[in-house]
Amino acid sequence: MEHFEEDLVEALKEIVRDGNWQCVGEQSAFQSPCTKLFSEDGEHLVLVHTEDDRFWAMDSACPHEGGPLELGDIEDLGNGRMALICPWHQFDFCLDTGASSTGLQNQVYDVKVVQGMVYVNTQNELCLNPFPEAKTAHVDKLYIEDGDKQTHENSLCYWATKILCTPDPEEKVTLTLEVQRKWNSGEISDVGEATPPAQPGRKENLTVLEPGKIKRGKGGTLASRVALLHSLANIEQWAIDLSWDVIARFSKTRLSTGTALPRQFFSDFVKVAGDEAKHYHLLEKRITELGSCFGALPVHNGLWQSASDTAHDLLARLAIVHMVHEARGLDVHPQTLSRFAAQGDTKSVEALEVIYADEITHVAAGLRWFTYICGEEARDCVPTFHKLVKLHFKGYLKPPFNTEGRKTAGMTEETDIYFLKWQT
C-alpha cells in the first residue's frame, strides 16, 4: 500500500466541500444595509446589503469583544472594497474576506441570489427571529449499563470496553495512556473480544444539548475562548471513545475473503486513542488555567450519533467518523487558530497546533484502512465512499475556508490535508 488512491482523496475533498445553501428570504425583504440572522447554535450572522445590490454575510459578533456588527455602518475602503464597522470600537471588517486592518479576522459566508431569493452557505439553520430556548437533558438519562466483558483482563478489548464504561474523563485519559503503553511494550498482546456499551459512560453532572444548540464562542472574549476550548475538549473526549469503540466493536470482523483485520489496524487506533487522550488533557488544562473547568458548560453527543449509525459496518464507520468528521476538524482549524492568535492567547494556540499535527495522522489512518479493506474485498473505493456517505452522514458541512484566515494560519494548498498523497 504505497499511497492512497488519489481519486479517493478527491472524493473526500468533494464531500467536505458539499455545503448547505439556506434560503433566508426574498431579496426584496432585505432593504436595510444590515439584517441579523439568528442561528440555531447561537453563532448568529449579519446579512449585509450594499448600495450596488450585492449581499454579504459574516458572524454578527465582533471577534474583538463581541460588539453587534448588525448595528454597524458600511464604509468604502477604496479600490471597490467595502467594510462593516463595529459600533463599539470602530474595528473594520472587509465584507469579502472578513479581514480587519487591526489584524483581527471575522468569519464570512458565501451568499448568492437565485430567482429573487437570498441563500447563505452555512451548516446551521438560520431564522429572522430568535430560536426558542433549548431543552436540556442530563447524561445519566442518556447512557445505558456497561457492556458485557467476554474476555480476560490482559486483552486489548477488555481494556477498550473498560475505558468506554469509565465516566470520569481524567480517569479515561489515564487508562488510555496506560493501555497504550502496555500494548506498545507487549504487556498486552492479545486483541481479544468484548461487547462494548451502546454508549460510553459520562459523569452525571454534565448537561447535554442538541449539537446545534451549543454556543461554541468566537474567541473575542475570555468567556468565548473558554466556550470554544470546552467544545473542543468535549469532542476530544468523544474521540477517545470512538477510537476504543472501533477496536472493541470490530475486533472479530472478517473481510469477505475470510481474513481477520491485521494487527496493525489495532495498533493504529490505539495510537489515535492515545493522541486524543493527550488532546483532551491539553484542552482541559488550558480551560482550568483560564479559570473554568470541563463540565461547566453544556456539551453534545453528536459524534456518537454517527458512531451508532455505523455500528454495524466497519467501512461505514471509517468513512463517516474517521474520514469525514476527522477531516472536517482539520478544515476548521485555521479559523479556530486565528481567533485565539488574534487575542494573543499563545498557550491555546500552542495546544491547538499540537492537536492539528496529530489529527492529520488520524485522517490518514481512516483513509489507510478504508483503502485496505476496499482493496482486499475488490471494491471500487470512490463509489463505495460516496454510497456510504449518502447513506450514513447526517447534517451538512461548510465548504473549506480557503481564505485569508487559512493563509494566516500558515496553510496553503500544498499543505492542506486534501491535497496530500498519504504515505503509509
Q: CATH number for the domain including 63?
A: 2.102.10.10
pLDDT tens for the 424 residues of the chain, in order = 445 566 776 666 666 555 567 889 999 999 999 999 998 777 899 999 999 999 999 999 888 778 899 999 999 877 778 999 999 888 999 999 999 988 888 889 999 998 899 999 887 788 898 876 544 333 333 332 344 444 567 899 999 999 999 999 999 999 999 999 999 999 999 999 989 999 999 998 888 887 666 666 666 678 888 989 999 999 999 999 999 999 999 999 999 999 999 999 999 999 999 999 999 999 999 999 999 999 999 988 888 888 999 999 999 999 999 888 887 777 677 778 888 888 889 999 999 999 988 888 888 899 899 999 999 999 998 889 888 988 887 654 444 333 332 232 222 333 233 323 333 3
In a domain, 155, yes or no: yes
Residues 225 and 319 in one domain: yes
Cα(392)–Cα(306) distance, integer angstroms: 7
In a domain, 278, yes or no: yes
In a domain, 128, yes or no: no
Residues 66 and 164 in one domain: no
Residues 108 and 189 in one domain: no
pLDDT at 400: 38
In a domain, 127, yes or no: no
In a domain, 337, yes or no: yes
In a domain, 1, yes or no: no
Could you tell me if 122 and 109 are in contact, meaning their C-beta atoms sit under 8 angstroms apart? yes
pLDDT at 262: 96
Cβ neighbour number for residue 311 with a 10 Å cutoff: 16
Residues 298 and 181 in one domain: yes
* Domain of 397, in residue numbers: 6-14+133-419
pTM here is 0.69
Residues 199 and 311 in one domain: yes
Residues 194 and 56 in one domain: no
pLDDT at 12: 65
Residues 261 and 402 in one domain: yes
pLDDT at 43: 80
Cα(163)–Cα(144) distance, integer angstroms: 15
In a domain, 219, yes or no: yes
Residues 282 and 333 in one domain: yes
Residues 160 and 231 in one domain: yes
pLDDT at 402: 31
Cβ neighbour number for residue 318 with a 10 Å cutoff: 26
C-alpha atoms less than 13 angstroms from C-alpha of 345 in its C-beta half-sphere: 27
Residues 197 and 261 in one domain: yes
Cβ neighbour number for residue 17 with a 10 Å cutoff: 14
In a domain, 56, yes or no: yes
Cα(196)–Cα(147) distance, integer angstroms: 5
Residues 111 and 137 in one domain: no
Cα(190)–Cα(201) distance, integer angstroms: 25
pLDDT at 394: 61
Domain end position, chosen among 89, 122, 155: 122
Cα(36)–Cα(46) distance, integer angstroms: 4
Closest CA to 58 of 108, 127, 124: 108
Amino acid, res. 351: A
Could you tell me if 57 and 40 are in contact, meaning their C-beta atoms sit under 8 angstroms apart? no
Cα(337)–Cα(353) distance, integer angstroms: 8
Domain end position, chosen among 72, 98, 122: 122
Residues 272 and 366 in one domain: yes
- What is the domain count for the chain? 2
Domain end position, chosen among 122, 154, 179: 122
